[in-house]
Chains A and B, each alone.
Chain A
């Protein structure tokens, strides 16, 4: 088989790469917004709900992605609770759509966002917030001006991890999205498609790109940690 670059880099591949990046970026952004208050609550609370909530948020870490994807698919489906809600709101059914994919990715990567941010809030300790209060900052103001900037290493790590984890996700997107070219087909599902179709050369190139990408991300994270360690006393 003669392999041509142009043939490989067709619209479907371009779409898959574009969709992957779009999904990863949106997931990271949504997760930072969602995870920050959750992480703050977890780092501060002494409520009995802390442990169960923590366990629930960690679930995506240990559940097989297919299990998570299956439940999400059922929930989003026309007869699922989420599906009924979205239909009632006039948004239609989310399964096999990009929005559904985004929702699944957000849930799937939630622990990767919550944990680094929570950790950053914990190592910050209660003192900076107390100092801010003695300098007349209300709790909300202290959160914005002190806790958030001091937790910067945490949410930088969270952003990179979420982005990378979403790029690398497969099981959930396959279950919810179904690998529809141009709509829900991302790199990882496309590789699967190539392999199914015995197109090993195409699979090789995409897989190689993913390998390189993942290594670079981990390298960036390691370098970031080193810089953070240097800054801290």
Chain B
């Protein structure tokens, strides 16, 4: 990676009963998700990057801009870091209406450039009709959209989002996620996104950093990191992988969509995605089984030929997690230890991964 398009974050922060010590090098595009249980230090990392934790030492570099360096004695205060920050609760200014909240970050006598950035933000988040409202008249989802637009209106080099959906109920969440996908796909602003929700991670993430007890446990592209067996504890029962593909066919009679990806194609429930649309499949490990021959005469329609690359004991002693590779992709199956032994499975073996169900997301 070229220095100009990456984020370098190296931070240490000592607090009573908690020590943060992280080093991450992230691509300066798309959404990098900071994932982990509560107390793992996700939000603290975000606050440090924003300069809201003056006690943090280390280095924060965004592309060619140095925001903080202990060695060089540099510490830009928050208001001089070109970032946008979306807090968990929308934190709109109650004494200002929507319009004035969004325009808060614009300088007096702002250039027409800045005004057009604001217009784009308003349009991108579909809040045109809310501009004259008081903020206490907005729904939770609308408040968050306004908060995001307000952060974008300052034209940031980096957008930080701290569990922006956590305070919302499921239906509001579902309402907001497409807006976030739109930001990811239409803007060229890298985002650091803190969450502990699997559905947000699998739908929105491009890059994944798993945090545990203030340290980086795993970091890499979403598909690679999610399927790596190091993160099993964090993922728990919902252990799943994400495969990116494209809708290539719709079977209207059976309400199915065919999603093709390097190395294969699966038929999944049609959720209305258009042919040719880029989509993601989320496949739970418990929905994947292993066969040593190409399966026939089974209700499970989706399978791919793959090679076992790793296997680790699962949390429960009866289970084992098996990671398989086909082309450049990985898939993980959760099977019983007994099946592993009965079928004499081993790392390096060529097998068939059968997928009972795959969810089409995004």
Contact = CB atoms under 8 A, between A and B. Distances in A.
Interface residues of A, number: 21
A131 B136 contact: no
Contact of B95 (A127, A136, A150, A233): A150
A133 B78 contact: yes
Nearest to B89: A127
B272 to A, nearest CB: 37
Contacts of B80: 136
Interface string A165-180: 0000000000000000
B151 interface: yes
Given A136-B79, A136-B105, A233-B136, A130 B52 contact: yes
Contact of A128 (B50, B85, B91): B91
A150 B50 CA distance: 23
A134 B93 contact: no
A117 to B, nearest CB: 16
Nearest to A138: B79
SS of A interface (majority) = helix
B20 interface: no
A142 B79 CA distance: 10
Nearest to B78: A133
B92 to A, nearest CB: 8
A124 to B, nearest CB: 10
Interface in A37-64: none
Nearest to B100: A145
Contacts of A145: 104
B330 interface: no
B105 A127 contact: no
Given A149-B95, A233-B136, A132 B77 contact: no
A152 B95 contact: yes
Contacts, number: 56
Contacts of A135: 79, 104-105, 150-151, 154
A146 interface: yes
Given A127-B87, A131-B85, A145-B104, A137 B94 contact: no
A169 to B, nearest CB: 33
B95 to A, nearest CB: 4
Contacts of A138: 79
A136 B78 CA distance: 7
Interface centre among B78, B91, B107, B150 (most CB of A within 10 A): B78
Contacts of B83: 134
Contact of A146 (B50, B77, B93, B151): B93
B214 interface: no
B36 interface: no
B137 to A, nearest CB: 12
Question: Which of A131, A133, A152 has the most chain B CB atoms inside 10 A of its CB?
Answer: A131
Contacts of B136: 231, 233
Interface residues of B, number: 22
Contact of B78 (A127, A130, A152, A233): A130
Interface in A179-219: none
Interface string B70-94: 0000000111100111010001011
Interface string B130-151: 0000001000000000000011
Interface string B168-180: 0000000000000
A142 B78 CA distance: 12
B188 to A, nearest CB: 20
Contacts of B84: 134
Contacts of A136: 79-80, 105, 107, 154
Nearest to B103: A135
Contacts of A232: 94
Interface string A141-156: 0100110011010000
Contacts of B150: 135
Interface in B56-79: 77-79
Contacts of A152: 95
B80 to A, nearest CB: 8
A134 B85 CA distance: 6
A135 B80 CA distance: 9
Contacts of A150: 93-95
26 contacts: A128-B91, A131-B93, A132-B79, A132-B104, A133-B52, A133-B78, A134-B78, A134-B79, A134-B83, A134-B151, A135-B79, A135-B104, A135-B150, A135-B151, A135-B154, A136-B80, A136-B107, A136-B154, A137-B79, A137-B105, A138-B79, A142-B79, A146-B93, A150-B94, A231-B136, A233-B136
Given A131-B85, A136-B80, 11 more contacts: A128-B91, A130-B78, A130-B87, A131-B93, A133-B51, A133-B52, A134-B50, A134-B79, A135-B104, A136-B154, A150-B94
Interface of B: 50-52, 77-80, 83-85, 87, 91, 93-95, 104-105, 107, 136, 150-151, 154
Interface of A: 127-128, 130-139, 142, 145-146, 149-150, 152, 231-233
